[in-house]
Structure 1
């Protein structure tokens, strides 16, 4: 039976949701059962064999829905394979180098047995919600810096690990 994987995400403007959906699609293509859901809508993680949690970065903090999800489900997450991702730099830096997790994500990683964390570039487009986001776009600081081939390669590595571990059971 294929592993059932939850890809939970916290987003305000939808960019992180699109990353989560891409991750879930790759996991499904590799033969796993995967679904991407807003972190705030997930009630019970015990029906999942593994979890991926993503959060948009705002002013050096992970999206509140992602933070709350991890805090609310910490006991159940501690017993499952867990990966984290952040999205947010509005430049090419995430494609050029590894970006360390922000302090709140680092704390979650220290408390839980997180397999890996990665930071992907973000996207901020015209019509973004929030005063600060609109100001960034208006000042030419927006754009789409997501690297979907890198996102898909990361998801494929997750799938490979889960499939390998399932084969050992």
Structure 2
């Protein structure tokens, strides 16, 4: 594939954006043209040939910006290679086992014929926005559980799939 890949993401405190940037960098290192953009700021997807869409998980739901992006661009996404990712568990569970997509995301994956999904560990650190985030931090359950080696390995598999055999 010689086209462009959009890595769109929904994030509240920036940790999912950092995952999206890491994915974008791996795609570029593998010879693909790739852009990372906040999902809420993407109005036109017509110049892209493949998509990776990610969102943070909040109370069992994918980030609203990621959900809206997928809904708004569903026709185009269904016609192109698509991968999805979630970020969120504030523990080591994402590194220990495959965590399936939340129900709403699973339905979207099926409708859009997504090629894959993965869940990465989340990150919640001091200064995070939101009442619930504050409660989680005060209870001592915050931290950074992102595994950038796993993120880069997954992005490498996406790049291999996009480049095809050869």
Q: TM tier, shorter chain? A: over 0.9
**What SS does the corresponding residue of 1:114 show, helix, strand or coil?**
coil
2:97 is matched with 97
Structure 1 position 164, deviation (Å) = 1.1
CA distance in 2 between counterparts of 1:113 and 1:45 reads 18
Q: Unpaired runs of 5+ in structure 2?
A: none
Q: If the length of structure 1 is used for normalisation, what is the TM-score?
A: 0.96
2:17 is matched with 17
| Matching of residues 3-152 of structure 1 within 5 Å | 3-152=3-152
Per-residue displacement from partner, 1:6-58 (whole Å, max 9, x unpaired)? 00000000000000000000000100000100000001112101000000000
Structure 1 position 2, deviation (Å) = 2.6
- CA RMSD of superposed structures (Å): 1.0
Aligned length, in residue pairs: 166
CA distance in 1 between counterparts of 2:113 and 2:47 reads 19
CA distance in 1 between counterparts of 2:160 and 2:111 reads 25
Q: Unpaired runs of 5+ in structure 1?
A: none
Structure 1 position 71, deviation (Å) = 0.2
